[in-house]
Amino acid sequence: MKKCFNTIFVVSLLILTLSTVQLNAQQDAQYTQYMYNTLSINPAYAGSRGGVSVLGLHRSQWVGLDGAPRTQTASIHSPIGDSQRVGLGLNIVQDDIFITSETYVDLAFSYSIPTSDIGKLSFGLKGGVHLLDVNYSEASPFQNGDALIQNNIDNQFSPQIGVGLFYSTDRFYAGLSAPNLLETDHFDDSQNTNDPNATYLATERINYYLTSGYVFDITPDFKLKPAAIAKWVSGAPLQVDVTANALLYDRLTLGAAYRWSAALSGLVGFQVTDSLMIGFAYDRETTELQQFNDGSYEVFLRFEILKKPKRLISPRFF
């Protein structure tokens, strides 16, 4: 049954890629540990950690299902100057699904304005490139010699521009962002067919993100942070993740999350040293898809050189 579903899944993706319909909603990659990977969705987060912050993250979604998504993310960001009002960041994402591979390379800029003794509001802007590869040779065509899949797509280029807002204090944060404001059509030049009416379109729609969280000091050694992220894109259902993380002794993080009508997740993180943190998350589908895969896995590694010693004693929880 599992192999049969895998075949159906792959064939369905092939039909969607090659059929004469317009795909209106191409969503960005999703992350269970979004609270550690904020730069990938909000450029205003650049420099907010107070020092150099380097992150690497890998996500394998729907393990055991042929052609399932795999995502790798690498980022680095830091404040610039003594005032720390300006932040710069670099974010690279590699996203693979079925026969497609997408690479995103973005530069982020942020500028922060103090709003009170404890709060600041950051404005973010990012620009970057998107490269798309489609390897039709990895598909199983319904008909040998099909003209539609004779020419692979190699490094098809499209520009990206994104914006964001991020407000934070020592305990609270909220962000609003759109990582890419440009709606780009792919597969739209009819290069593989003589039919002028054929449209093989995958349109990148604008993804909007709203994030928020608050840290409660339950005891000196126990902090609790509820957090949430909502993602909306035209043509797709609203996606909402609700997470609760507990930080014990400023070292061990344990958490649980619920993705609305989609998945339940468990999270664990450990602050190995003041500079190094590792984390792991596991998702289990709550839909019928759960019987055809072994869940989704996510692991990250973060290394930081923070400028303010007090943050090393009590690391900020977001």
Which segments within 135-168 are labelled E, that is strand?
A: 153-168
| Inside any domain, residue 61 | yes
Q: 36: domain range? A: 2-16+26-141+154-187+201-313
Please provide the average confidence, as pLDDT, over all residues in the chain.
83
Number of domains in the chain: 1
| Inside any domain, residue 218 | yes
Q: Is 136 in contact with 142 (CB distance < 8 Å)?
A: no
Q: What are the structure tokens assigned to 39, written together?
A: 């730069």
Per-residue pLDDT at 133? 86
pTM above 0.85, yes or no: no
Q: In the predicted model, is pLDDT for residue 275 greater than 90? A: yes
| Inside any domain, residue 163 | yes
Q: What is the Cα–Cα distance from 318 to 313, expressed in whole angstroms?
A: 15
Per-residue pLDDT at 75? 97
Closest CA to 282 of 247, 302, 260, 255: 255
Per-residue pLDDT at 156? 83
| Inside any domain, residue 68 | yes
Kindly report the CATH number assigned to the domain that includes residue 53.
2.40.160.40
User: Which residues, listed in sequence order, are joined to residue 104 by a DSSP beta bridge?
Assistant: 93, 130
| Inside any domain, residue 146 | no
Give residue-wise pLDDT tens across range 21-66.
Answer: 333 344 678 899 999 999 999 999 999 998 999 999 999 999 988 8
Q: Is 271 in contact with 277 (CB distance < 8 Å)?
A: yes
Give residue-wise pLDDT tens across range 168-216.
Answer: 998 999 999 999 998 776 555 444 444 555 444 456 779 999 999 999 9
Residue whose pair of structure tokens reads 């960005």 in the numeric block:
28
| Inside any domain, residue 148 | no
Q: Is 24 in contact with 203 (CB distance < 8 Å)?
A: yes
* Alpha carbon 260 to its chain's center: 17
Q: What are the structure tokens assigned to 222, written together?
A: 């126990």
